[in-house]
A and B are shown apart, each in its own frame.
Chain A
């Protein structure tokens, strides 16, 4: 079954750190670029970070640059998001999403999404 399953969300205090993970199955994870997208409660979608299939090319939104780091383990078929210096405005459902590729590299749109994991940053 082709799927992405996120984990690691929860309630954390401002300034603390947390790591999200996304377990991929049913497809060749090592062949696809991967991304994190978040959605604050009742709000729209915000792209957070992306990483190429081989982990060599990464992008982060300005809102998380220097605080969040995306990484992957192509042996474990897992995508990670290390989040440091968390702020209340980081509260959101975090989705991992697959880039279909084939656009002369990554396409940066997303054809497969996980169900999401909720992060709440609050004292």
Chain B
């Protein structure tokens, strides 16, 4: 199975800051990577697919980059609504594994 490792596990930031979350795959997934946002008690929400494509309706302050084994999700000008847990997911090969999550919290 392809292992997905996110860093950091927890990230503290303030409204207006820019943050970057990293995701590493144990083997290449090319650009077959998605990012999700999840808030407590809610289902995940797709933010980014194919490593850098912004899902319809997602604000452009969210961006994704990377290919192969190294990926990043960047959120600029953090808004109060952005504090949540973020997951990466590889969709190159079954089983379609997720990272362990990054909890973005208010400093």
Contact = CB atoms under 8 A, between A and B. Distances in A.
Contact of A47 (B43, B46, B98, B99): B98
Nearest to B34: A109
Interface in A51-65: 59, 61-62
B100 interface: yes
Contacts of B38: 45
Q: Is the interface of A mostly helix, strand, loop or mixed?
A: loop
A44 B85 CA distance: 10
A109 B44 contact: no
B95 A47 contact: yes
Given A109-B46, A110-B46, A113-B43, A47 B101 contact: no
Interface residues of A, number: 21
A44 B87 contact: yes
A107 B42 CA distance: 23
Contacts of A50: 94, 96
A44 B98 contact: yes
Given A108-B91, A109-B49, A109-B91, A46 B43 contact: no
B87 to A, nearest CB: 6
Q: Which of A100, A108, A116 has the most CB of B within 10 A?
A: A108
B91 A107 contact: yes
A44 B96 contact: no
Given A44-B98, A109-B49, A114 B43 contact: yes
Interface of A: 37, 44-47, 50, 59, 61-62, 95, 97, 100, 107-111, 113-116
29 contacts: A44-B87, A44-B98, A44-B99, A44-B100, A44-B101, A45-B36, A45-B38, A45-B87, A45-B98, A45-B101, A47-B89, A47-B96, A47-B97, A50-B94, A59-B95, A61-B95, A62-B1, A100-B49, A107-B91, A108-B91, A108-B94, A109-B34, A109-B46, A110-B44, A110-B46, A111-B49, A113-B44, A113-B45, A114-B43
